[in-house]
Amino acid sequence: MHPGDVAPHALAPSDDAPGHLLTSGTSADVYAIDDERVLRRYREGRDAAPEVDLLRHVRSHDFPAPDVLRAGGPDIVMTRMHGPTLLQALAAGEFSLPDAAHVLADLHAMLHAVPAPPSWQVPRDRDWPQLGGGPVVVHLDLHPGNVVLTEQGPMLVDWANAATGTPELDVAVTAVLIAEVAVDAGGDYSQAARAVVAAFLHASDVSPLTALDDAVALRSGAPGLLPGERELVPQAGALVRTMLALTERR
C-alpha cells in the first residue's frame, strides 16, 4: 500500500459527503473537504486504483495535475486546484481563442513526454477496443473544462478516462470533443469552438489523422452521451478531417 493510503473501501460510498458538491461528471462526484483537499468519488463503486496509479505516475514526472493524498475503493482524496477553468476564462473574455488552443497543445506535448508505466493495464470494465495501450500516458478528456488556471499555471484535472496510448489518439479525442461543440448549430459557442479546433490543430506537433476514426468510435461509445449528442460525433470527426486536409494543403 502506498504511504498515505487508507485501506480499500475505508472511504465507502455510504459515508456522508465530506463537504459541498463542487462538480458532477458522468461517473463521479467531486466534494470539497476543505480549502486544500477534494474527494473524488465514483458513484457506481468503480475502483479508482487505475486512475490513482496514472495520476501518481504523471506527478512523478512533474506533470501539472493534482496530487493524490490518499485513496481507497471508489474514492480519491486529492489536492484542491484553485482558479477558473480555461472554459470559464474563455467565456469571460479573459483568454483569447488562440491562447487557449496553445494551452491545450502544450499540455498534450507535456503529457505525451511521460512514458507509460510498464505495469499499467487497461481496466477490465472498459469496453473500449481503441485503448489497446501505447508508449505514453494519454488523458482522453483534455478540453477547456478540465484545465484549471491556477496561480502556478494550467493544471489538468479529471483523469477518469486516462490510459496508456498514442499521442495521435489523445490529440484526436480533444479535437473531436471541441468539434462536437462546433457542429452543434444551435449552440451558443459553435463558432468559437470551430476557431479553437482550427487553432489547436495548427498548434499541435502531432497530426491526429491516423487516429481520427478511433477517436470518433471512442466518443460515440462514451457513457452518458444523450442521443442528440451522440449524433454530433460523426459530424465532429468529419469537421476535424476537413480542417486537417485544409492544413495539409498550405
Q: Note the pLDDT of residue 17.
A: 62
Residue 129 and residue 156 in contact, taking contact as beta carbons nearer than 8 Å: no
Nearest to 51 by CA among 145, 140, 147: 140
Q: Which residues contact 87 (CB under 8 A, 6 or more apart)?
A: 143, 144, 145, 147
Q: Note the pLDDT of residue 16.
A: 58
Give dist(CA 54, CA 159) in Å, integer.
8
In this prediction the pTM is 0.90
Give dist(CA 184, CA 209) in Å, integer.
22
Give dist(CA 144, CA 88) in Å, integer.
8
Residue 111 and residue 139 in contact, taking contact as beta carbons nearer than 8 Å: yes
Residue at 47: amino acid letter:
D
- According to DSSP, residue 72 is labeled E
Give dist(CA 232, CA 239) in Å, integer.
11
- Residue 24, all three cell numbers: 458532477
- Residue 66, all three cell numbers: 493534482
Q: Note the pLDDT of residue 9.
A: 39
pLDDT digits (tens, 9 = 90+) for 125-153: 776 777 778 999 999 999 999 999 999 99
The parts of the chain modelled with pLDDT lower than 70 are 1-18, 127, 248-250
